[in-house]
Structure 1
């Protein structure tokens, strides 16, 4: 019980309240405050102690002789190992193996954080990931699990587009492998990305999660994968990035 409540109870003995009804009311009020305070403390403790859940999504699509998925699998497994060591409950989806839409919606509802592992094919994710999002998010839109409309309201014109999400408190992060070299980003003189960061270039991927209420974390990117001599180092640095963005 908080010290302030104990002080209040002690003060009742010091105060010379002759009116018995008044004294009884004060006792009841202090008792109720104590019950509420203890309940909140237990709720907070339970929330901290609850095992968190991560959903790992592998969006790789195999192209024989070009993209076999080994590198993306390595990053995926590195993330899985990290979350296991951090005590998370692990949910997994490999899109190319097929999926049940209702189960994927439920996985999103259960997960505290979504980590998408994807190659960048023609400056975006493989098409199977777009189909996955269309299937899962559309189902969750109709069921109103992910969101209730787009947030706008005729009764409140100040409500912004994209504020109708129900997934506040959850987080999304992507890890991407690129053919593009790192120097092609964050430089306005570069022809393709014109000063954009890698996260900016994949804005269309993360914004779906923003739209339904997720906090989007800084992504992790492995560049120039066909010529990169530092891939092993990039893999080793990945857990440190996860630890940083998740403040673990």
Structure 2
């Protein structure tokens, strides 16, 4: 069994209270704990200790990043979390030993200094865009872009620390055409398939 750290990156607002993201975190915690995994989770909106958070990444075999896609990226509070936690953990060696370059080879190996090579991560996103808007060259907005391509900055951040991606989960069209029970069933199946 593995150590699983789940991060809830939702930022509550007048428009979204974060119930779906919270429910997905609770489902993951319940399901994974029942399977024998050790689980910790943090809700960014409830506050966090920067050093304790960096330690969670060292402890974890798998990190689950649960968040809504806001304006084509992570919520502002999640980005602030990244800036604080990842910078501390990156500078002190918990997440990386610098950026991978050396004085002898200052132009080589950028991004390859990560110390978490034995850690996997999974993105789990909620978003208002419908599923058919992605991987569809006929779509007028994304023009064939995949969700993982849209979330490339998050993927590259995890890659910077040496982590390996598990397949991404997404709940689409959550504001205008929600299918919550179907999303829950797909989420449970996704977790069972990849843990």
Query: Which residue in the other structure is 2:60 paired with?
Result: 111
CA RMSD in angstroms, aligned pairs only: 1.7
Superposition TM-score, scaled by structure 1 size: 0.74
Indicate whether 1:63 and 2:13 are aligned: yes
Query: Which residue in the other structure is 1:148 paired with?
Result: 97
Bigger share in helix: 1
Number of positions where the alignment pairs a residue of Structure 1 with one of Structure 2 = 195
Alpha-carbon shift at residue 164 of structure 1 (Å): 0.8
* Residue aligned with 1:191, SS: coil
Alpha-carbon shift at residue 200 of structure 1 (Å): 1.4
Look at both structures and tell me which one has the larger radius of gyration over its CA atoms: 1
Deviations 1:175-195 (A, max 9, x none): 111110111100122232221
Alpha-carbon shift at residue 205 of structure 1 (Å): 1.4
Question: Which ranges of structure 1 fall in alignment gaps of 5 or more residues?
Answer: 1-50
Alignment equivalent of 1:203, drawn from 116, 132, 152: 152
Alpha-carbon shift at residue 212 of structure 1 (Å): 0.8
Contact 2:6–2:64, Cα closer than 8 Å, also in 1: yes
* Residue aligned with 1:225, SS: coil
Indicate whether 1:122 and 2:122 are aligned: no
Contact 2:54–2:89, Cα closer than 8 Å, also in 1: yes
Give the distance between the partners of 2:90 and 2:26, measured in 1 at CA.
31
Alpha-carbon shift at residue 227 of structure 1 (Å): 2.8
Query: Which residue in the other structure is 1:175 paired with?
Result: 124
Indicate whether 1:94 and 2:43 are aligned: yes
Structure 1 residues 20-31: aligned runs within 5 Å: none
Question: Which ranges of structure 2 fall in alignment gaps of 5 or more residues?
Answer: none
Superposition TM-score, scaled by structure 2 size: 0.93
Contact 1:199–1:218, Cα closer than 8 Å, also in 2: no
Deviations 1:186-224 (A, max 9, x none): 012223222111121111112111111000111100111
Contact 1:172–1:206, Cα closer than 8 Å, also in 2: no
* Residue aligned with 1:82, SS: helix
Higher relative contact order (CA 8 A, sep 6+): 2
Query: Which residue in the other structure is 1:84 paired with?
Result: 33
Give the distance between the partners of 2:63 and 2:141, measured in 1 at CA.
29
Give the distance between the partners of 1:223 and 1:148, measured in 2 at CA.
37
